[in-house]
Amino acid sequence: MNITIVGGGNIGTQFAVHCAYKRHAVTVFTSKPERFSQTVRCVDAQGNETCCGELSCVTSDPETAFSQAQVIFVTVPADCMAQYARLITPYVRPGVMVGLIPGTGGGECAFRECLDKGAVLFGLQRVPAVARLAEYGRTVCSTGYRPELFAAALPKKHTQDCCRLLSEIFDMPCTPLPDYLNLTLTPSNPILHTTRLRTLFGDFAPGVVYDRIPLFYQQWSDESSRLLFVCDDEVQQLCKKLSMFDLSGVRSLKEHYESKTPEALTQKISHIPAFQGLPSPQKAVDGGYIPDLQSRYFTADFSYGLSILVQVAQLFGSPCPNMEETLQWYRDISGDSRMFRFADWGLDDPATFISFYRQ
């Protein structure tokens, strides 16, 4: 198939390698085409090559990238989805499959016009593996591959086809989710990252400098786990409120991490091999360190993650005080006024919201 990968970062490179390895004709759409090698590869944590492939094209020209594409994987951050949707939509034809990797962050709204043109929109609940670039445009380190993928599509009748494609590319099972809203409400990073950040930097204010900042996962705390537990409970209550959808795919993070208590969750997260050594988002300043508020841990996971959960809860009258307080904490320390808003896409009442996600 003619497959275009949008984005040359961690996940984009990982997808490019796997698609090319399976002999698909792969085009990478990136702002830095000159930095890409024709041969791209995945390596494991020890630097051993696990797979490689040959790219057909690397380009920054939208027409070249999208006019013949049968599948388009969009791997850019959530706050860039609308920008890239405007680039892609003019070239979309009926039957083209547009995949959002991952499918969280509200990107499905930005691509509504593609749906109107007869495209299939699909998303992964979580990425296949942890990906970190070893050498831009050439090598990505992919570790901690999941045993199974989960995906959903709009219109939902195409979900099985999308799952078959993903399963073929990654050589792993891909289970269809009953409704796309299972992706929109996945609590993963929107809860996991935001609760950790709030407890790490709860006392942060202008002038506060830390002499050290703990590793993000490896030095996870019980305080972070306790806040995660109560926010996770609020997501599950919201799912019960939305009884018109089958949201069985929105698994509690307690279940996902097999942890019945906050202390068990701390032990679990701090010992996941793929998470070892990963730093917290920080910047060096005179006298120590401060949180890096421009990190995607902040700009994506609050404004395009937690805010989505809070908005849906408010739209349907489901209480979420801990999520609301965590989101407000971020706004107070960052002054960030950017935020995904369902109302910007016409989904400003329950009936319209339900109609969009039930197609």
**Tell me, what's the pLDDT at 325?**
98
> 101, 74 in Cβ contact below 8 A?
yes
**What sign results for the dihedral spanned by CA atoms 251, 256, 260, 266?**
negative
Cα–Cα distance, 280 to 85 (Å, whole number): 31
Cα–Cα distance, 337 to 216 (Å, whole number): 25
Tokens of 357: 């996600």
**Tell me, what's the pLDDT at 274?**
81
**Tell me, what's the pLDDT at 207?**
93
pLDDT tens-digit profile, the chain (359 residues)? 999 999 999 999 999 999 999 999 999 999 999 999 999 999 999 999 999 999 999 999 999 999 999 999 999 988 899 999 999 999 999 999 999 999 999 999 999 999 999 999 999 999 999 999 999 999 999 998 999 999 999 999 999 999 999 999 999 999 999 999 999 999 989 999 999 999 999 999 999 999 999 999 999 999 999 999 999 999 999 999 999 999 999 999 999 999 999 999 999 999 998 889 999 999 999 999 999 999 989 999 999 999 999 999 999 999 999 999 999 999 999 988 788 999 999 999 999 999 999 99
Model's pTM, two decimal places?
Answer: 0.90
Domains and their CATH numbers in the chain: 2-180 (3.40.50.720), 185-357 (1.10.1040.10)
Among 54, 59, 60, smallest CA distance to 25 is for 54
Number of neighbours of residue 173 by Cβ within 10 angstroms = 13
Tokens of 265: 């969750």
At position 168, the amino acid (one-letter code) is E
Residues in the chain: 359
**Tell me, what's the pLDDT at 116?**
94
Distance of alpha carbon 318 from the chain centroid: 24
Cα–Cα distance, 295 to 25 (Å, whole number): 33
CA end-to-end span of the chain: 26
At position 160, the amino acid (one-letter code) is Q
* Half-sphere exposure at residue 354, Cβ-oriented, CA atoms within 13 angstroms: 11
Any bridge partners for residue 291, and if so which? 282
